[in-house]
Amino acid sequence: MMKKTLNMRMKNSAFILFLLAFSSLSYGQDKTKGMKYYEYQKYASAVKELKSISGTDAMANYYLGLSYIGLEELDEAKKTFQKNADDAANMAGLARIMFLEDKPEEAMSMLEAVAKKGKRRNKAPLMYAADAITYSEGGDVNKAIQWYKMYKEDNNSSELLIKMGDAYRKIQGGGGNAMTSYQNAADLGEDLSLSNYKQGNLWYSAKNYDSALACYERASAIDPANPLPYSDLASAYYQVNKYERAKTQIQKYLKYSDNSPDDQIQYANILFLSKDYDGAITKMTELLNSGNGKSYMYRILGYSYREKGDLVKAKENLDMLFEKHPKNKLVPQDYFTYAKILSKDSSQLSLSKEYFQKGIDADTTSDKVELYRKIAKEYIDAGDYANGAIWYEKITLEDSDKKEMLDYWWAGRSYFQVSNYPKATSVYDAMIAYSPKDPSGYYWKGRVEAAQDGDFKKGTASELFKKYLSLIDPNNPDKKNEVTRAYTYLALVDYYAKKYKGAAEYSNLLLKLDPADKTAKQILANIPK
């Protein structure tokens, strides 16, 4: 009897040990899975995996807090980190909250304290502190890189190298170091999907879409469950005008992501970029009606309706964007698109100009030439030459190698169109100074002068037309209209000045171009014998 009882106890003990071991293994798997979900930006899935184990594991708690930040649930993230407020990782998490609360000095002070916790045998706090800077705004990125390097002295890994690459990307001119870090991460044979994905992002930002596509495709082949490459594959395919492939990839993204409202918004964005405006409108409207809407969704609705030509609904949705979306998160294109809509209404031209200027003010690029050109074209296409001229003239005043002779021409031509002759003259003077050997400046300044010499008595365009004729081949059939106008003016000026020899010469040149030219025939018929 005693032997049987002893055997039962031993069996029970073995079963309990098995349960403990299994529980520990399952616990570890949950944590690893949750951390991987976080890396793949599957924040809702990460929360689901980590929430039940976060109470007994500071690292699980840390990643749970990070996942809440990813979901923009900042109050929940803050409460989560505070549960382990003395732990280095969770302190770094609280610093991230401080950055988001626009308290950069407090955040950096907290991170200095975190970094000091890094000892010779455990330098992990250095990485947590550096991560908080790298994945937030407002911190000292150079300090983050310094801490990464200190940690790397004893702890090299793919994870670390990827993070270093992300930090380098935040520094102007740091792209080369970032790519080296990502490639070194891949060479270690770990986190291959993520490291290839990051390389793809660098190529994409450099507008090398073929290389970006190759990296994204490798990333998705290595780990098909990683949703990130599919989203960026969609964007890259859009950039090379392969819209159906873009849609296919974004559908894969939805399959492997959390399929959250944000994920679906990304899907709608790609539908818009792929020119499926009806699809984008349907998806965005569906999300708004389901209560999962966010203010920036009105942007895609407004843009899509504009592309479809429904300017009323386009304006309604952009009005909602300006009303509901944080002002500091509006982008220049929001103002430009709204201004373009207004420019189609002749009663709103003054307001459209204000919004174009708001877009200019919000744009951080130093060279504004291409921007000015797009705005000018919008006005010209709307038949508003007065405002079109102003924006083209802005280009001519820029110190940029992107401006062209055609910008001068359009500025002067547009001023000429609205009879603003002084401004047209000024622009064509600048055009001639910009390129003295180009005949167009002389011809068009001559046109401006001729327009102010209706009775041909002043002759102020004569020398300009003569200069133009000296710079071209008058017999070139492509120049027939311009040459005809120049000869006609010169012939009439000489005729009214009683310089009959010159009048006859220019009239004969006109007849050579067109034997039926009525003006030439009349002049020759009226020259005294």
b/e sequence 367-386, b meaning 16+ C-beta within 10 Å = ebbebbbebbebbbebebbe
Q: What is the pLDDT of residues 400-445, one digit of tens each?
A: 999 999 999 999 999 999 999 999 999 999 999 999 999 999 999 9
Q: Phi, psi (5° rounding) for residue 355?
A: -75, -35
Q: What is the mean pLDDT of residues 24-40?
A: 73
Q: Which residue has the higher pLDDT, 188 or 344?
A: 188
What is the rounded CA–CA span in Å between residue 488 and residue 479? Answer: 14
Dihedral over alpha carbons 49, 54, 57, 62 (to 10 degrees): 90
What is the per-residue DSSP string for 50-116? HTTTGGG-HHHHHHHHHHHHHTT-HHHHHHHHHTTTTSHHHHHHHHHHHHHTT-HHHHHHHHHHHHH
Furthest CA-CA distance within the chain = 151
96: CB partners within 8 A, 6+ apart: 66, 69, 107, 132, 135, 136
Q: What is the mean pLDDT of residues 317-339?
A: 92
Nearest to 520 by CA among 528, 475, 510: 510
Nearest to 267 by CA among 282, 251, 289, 291: 251
Do 159 and 191 touch, CB atoms closer than 8 A? yes
Q: Quick one: pLDDT band at residue 19, thresholds 50, 70, 90?
A: very low
Find the helix packing angle between 369-381 and 332-343, rounded to 10°.
20
Output the CA angle 389-452-377, nearest 5 degrees: 15
User: What pLDDT is stored for residue 340 in this prediction?
Assistant: 87
What is the rounded CA–CA span in Å between residue 297 and residue 285? Answer: 9
Q: What is the mean pLDDT of residues 325-339?
A: 91
Instruction: Kindly give the residue spans of alpha helices, DSSP state H, lying in 397-517.
Output: 405-417, 421-434, 439-451, 462-470, 480-496, 500-513
What is the rounded CA–CA span in Å between residue 391 and residue 422? Answer: 17
Based on the number of CB atoms within 10 Å of its own CB, is 272 exposed (0-12), middle (13-18) or buried (19 or more)?
A: buried
Q: What is the mean pLDDT of residues 198-220?
A: 94
Q: What is the pLDDT of residues 232-259, one digit of tens each?
A: 998 899 888 898 898 899 899 989 999 8
Do 234 and 227 touch, CB atoms closer than 8 A? no
Do 367 and 400 touch, CB atoms closer than 8 A? yes
What is the rounded CA–CA span in Å between residue 348 and residue 351? Answer: 5
Do 472 and 486 touch, CB atoms closer than 8 A? no
User: What pLDDT is stored for residue 22 in this prediction?
Assistant: 37
Identify how many contiguous H helices and E strands the chain contains and give both numbers.
29, 0
Do 34 and 59 touch, CB atoms closer than 8 A? no
Q: Quick one: pLDDT band at residue 10, thresholds 50, 70, 90?
A: very low
Q: Best-predicted range by mean pLDDT among 134-148, 254-268, 356-370? A: 134-148
Q: Quick one: pLDDT band at residue 1, thresholds 50, 70, 90?
A: very low
Q: What is the mean pLDDT of residues 155-164?
A: 94
Q: Phi, psi (5° rounding) for residue 154?
A: -120, -5
Q: What's the chain's average pLDDT?
A: 90
The fraction of the chain above a pLDDT of 70, given in percent, is 94
Amino acid type, 377: K
Q: Record the tokens describing residue 325, joined without a space.
A: 């979306």
User: What pLDDT is stored for residue 61 in this prediction?
Assistant: 94
Is residue 122 helix, strand or coil?
coil
User: What pLDDT is stored for residue 29 in this prediction?
Assistant: 63
Do 265 and 285 touch, CB atoms closer than 8 A? no
422: CB partners within 8 A, 6+ apart: none
User: What pLDDT is stored for residue 165 in this prediction?
Assistant: 96
Q: What is the mean pLDDT of residues 215-244?
A: 92
Single pTM value for the model: 0.63
Q: What is the mean pLDDT of residues 6-25?
A: 44
Dihedral over alpha carbons 361, 209, 273, 37 (to 10 degrees): -100
Do 228 and 219 touch, CB atoms closer than 8 A? yes
Q: What is the pLDDT of residues 53-87, one digit of tens each?
A: 878 899 999 999 999 999 999 999 999 999 999 99
Do 71 and 65 touch, CB atoms closer than 8 A? no
Q: What is the mean pLDDT of residues 456-473?
A: 96
Q: Quick one: pLDDT band at residue 6, thresholds 50, 70, 90?
A: very low
End-to-end CA distance of the chain: 151
